[in-house]
């Protein structure tokens, strides 16, 4: 089994998927724009061969170079788990006539307006929205949709360049920040709790499902520096309040023509109990969400994803044992981390339930919290009881404090 894997080392968690492919017997042909001499030691054992391209985002150039590199070889699969590359992977599949998601299907998972149109056509509840390319179109869409609204890139990832706008004045303040973005989605703001619906699929049917709760909503996480974002995977997915979102997610997969691999969907639960579609990607969730799912079930989804891609099999248990919480921390101040308060006491309080402590240590430069949800590191804790997992998570959010200068 020969697999071309685009971006096998970036973002860093892609090294784990590369490992997974190698462990299920694949010869991994990695393609990225990192020089060969700079490949991390952690990824080298899992790569059968590697091609450096000048720019991984230059689709035409990458297709030409990879096709020339592999001429004469039989390739069985092309995979990509980094959202900007899912369409490129589909283009390579179509060029080489191999199985997997088509360009049209991949575009439906990438283009947020087309995505919502296809989901709505299937009779599912989506936010009212319009595709906009000019400031005039944004203003017209805002008048039609009403405030509050969300303005975000058509092909964005996460909450980057995403704004909640409550008035004409705020809209005029945001418009200059969007001038480098060719297309955007102007959409209805949905008030409610926000959850994920994550899957690993075979032939579009989930063989693994996950729900996680965002506390607070991602847009708030990305706009308020003082917040310690918390994400908790839900052990009990049979609870009635989640059934609408889970059913919505399964129908979205059918509407968009999902094939094999990971999906990461976000949805809203309103105060009236209505499940409303947010958006979906044909890729795994970022910010350690796959690690959380692994801790929830004590499995290795990096390897199971690879088994699905290569062999259309999923072998791990889907029994959910824990609610797993990750808490991202942001230091007060600028410069280098100087101290961490409360970590020892929190670890003592939570004891055996702590799974990870990846906080940046004193002397380490702060990260730019606006560029990465990982911020200045994280701690992770799990527990079979939701209330206890929630309590320990917010104990960390409140009592662990980092400082920089």
Q: Tokens standing for 77? A: 């699969």
Model confidence, pTM = 0.92
CATH class of 2-100: alpha beta
Mean pLDDT for all residues in the chain: 95
Confidence label for 330 from pLDDT (cuts 50, 70 and 90): very high
Whether the predicted pLDDT of 158 surpasses 60: no
Whether the predicted pLDDT of 364 surpasses 70: yes
Q: Name the CATH superfamily, with its identifier, for domain 128-188.
A: ATP-grasp fold, A domain (3.30.1490.20)
Q: Tokens standing for 93? A: 């599949």
* Contacts of 278 by beta carbon, 8 Å cutoff, 6+ apart: 127, 190, 194, 265, 266, 267, 268
Per-residue pLDDT at 254: 98
Per-residue pLDDT at 161: 81
Q: Name the CATH superfamily, with its identifier, for domain 191-321.
A: ATP-grasp fold, B domain (3.30.470.20)
The stretch 122-134 carries a mean pLDDT of: 94
Work out the burial of residue 7: count CB atoms within 10 Å of its CB; fewer than 13 is exposed, 13-18 middle, 19 or more buried: buried
Q: pLDDT tens across 138-147, in order?
A: 999 999 999 9
Residue 126 CA to residue 280 CA, distance in Å, equals 12
Q: pLDDT tens across 28-65, in order?
A: 999 999 999 999 999 999 999 999 999 999 999 999 99
Per-residue pLDDT at 180: 84
What one-character-per-residue DSSP string does 2-53 give?
Answer: EEEEESSSSSTTHHHHHHHHHHTTPEEEEEESS-GGG--TTTGGG-SEEEE-
Q: pLDDT tens across 90-103, in order?
A: 999 999 999 999 99
Confidence label for 282 from pLDDT (cuts 50, 70 and 90): very high
Confidence label for 157 from pLDDT (cuts 50, 70 and 90): low
The stretch 58-79 carries a mean pLDDT of: 97
Provide the residue ranges of all domains of the chain, joining segments of one domain with +.
2-100, 128-188, 191-321, 323-405
The stretch 347-370 carries a mean pLDDT of: 96
Considering only CA atoms, which of 296, 242, 258 is closest in space to residue 104? 258
Pairing of strands 193-202, 163-165: unpaired
Q: pLDDT tens across 215-270, in order?
A: 988 888 888 899 999 999 999 999 999 999 999 999 999 999 999 999 999 999 99
Buried b (16+ CB within 10 A) or exposed e, 253-284: bebbbbbbbbbbbbbbbeeeeebbbbbbbbbb
**What angle do helix axes 86-96 and 103-110 make, rounded to 10 degrees?**
170
Calculate Rg over the CA atoms of the chain: 21
The stretch 317-322 carries a mean pLDDT of: 98
Kindly list the distances between the CA atom of residue 186 and the CA atoms of 128, 158, 189, in Å, as whole numbers in the listed order: 9, 16, 9
Per-residue pLDDT at 154: 83
Three-state secondary-structure class, residue 320: coil
Q: Say if CB 74 and CB 27 are below 8 A apart.
A: no
Q: Check whether the bond before 303 is cis (ω within 30° of 0).
A: no
Residues of the chain above pLDDT 90, percent: 92
Residue whose tokens read 């003592």:
348
């Amino acid at each position: 089994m020969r697999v071309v894997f685009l971006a096998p080392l970036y973002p860093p968690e892609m090294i784990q998927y590369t490992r997974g492919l190698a462990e299920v017997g694949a010869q991994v042909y990695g393609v990225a724009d990192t020089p060969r001499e700079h490949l991390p030691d952690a990824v080298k054992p899992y790569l059968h061969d590697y091609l450096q391209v000048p720019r991984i985002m230059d689709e035409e150039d990458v297709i030409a170079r990879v096709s020339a590199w592999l001429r004469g070889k039989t390739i069985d699969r092309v995979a990509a788990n980094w959202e900007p590359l899912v369409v490129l992977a589909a283009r390579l599949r179509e060029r080489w006539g191999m199985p997997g998601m088509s360009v049209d299907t991949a575009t439906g998972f990438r283009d947020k307006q087309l995505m919502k149109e296809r989901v709505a056509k299937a009779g599912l509840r989506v936010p009212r929205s319009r595709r906009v390319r000019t400031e005039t179109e944004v203003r017209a869409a805002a008048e039609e949709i009403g405030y509050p609204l969300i303005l975000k890139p058509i092909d964005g990832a996460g909450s980057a360049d995403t704004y909640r706008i409550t008035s004409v004045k705020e809209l005029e303040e945001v418009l200059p920040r969007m001038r480098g973005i060719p297309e955007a989605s102007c959409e209805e703001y949905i008030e409610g709790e926000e959850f994920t619906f994550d899957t690993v699929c075979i032939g579009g049917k989930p063989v693994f499902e996950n729900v996680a709760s965002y506390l607070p909503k991602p847009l708030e996480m990305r706009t308020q520096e003082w917040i310690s974002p918390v994400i908790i995977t839900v052990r009990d997915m049979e609870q009635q309040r989640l059934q609408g979102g889970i059913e919505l997610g399964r129908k979205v997969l059918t509407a968009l023509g999902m094939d094999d691999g990971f999906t990461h969907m976000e949805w809203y639960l309103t105060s009236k109990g209505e499940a409303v579609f947010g958006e979906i990607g044909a890729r795994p969730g970022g910010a350690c969400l796959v690690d959380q799912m692994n801790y929830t079930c004590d499995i290795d989804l990096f390897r199971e994803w690879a088994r699905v891609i290569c062999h259309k099999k999923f072998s791990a248990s889907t029994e959910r044992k824990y609610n797993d919480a990750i808490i991202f921390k942001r230091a007060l101040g600028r410069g280098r981390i100087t101290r961490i308060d409360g970590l020892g006491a929190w670890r003592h309080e939570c004891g055996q339930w702590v799974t990870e402590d990846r906080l940046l240590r004193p002397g380490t430069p702060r990260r730019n919290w606006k560029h990465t949800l990982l911020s200045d590191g994280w701690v992770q804790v799990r527990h079979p009881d939701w209330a206890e997992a929630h309590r320990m998570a917010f104990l960390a959010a409140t009592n662990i404090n980092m400082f920089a200068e």
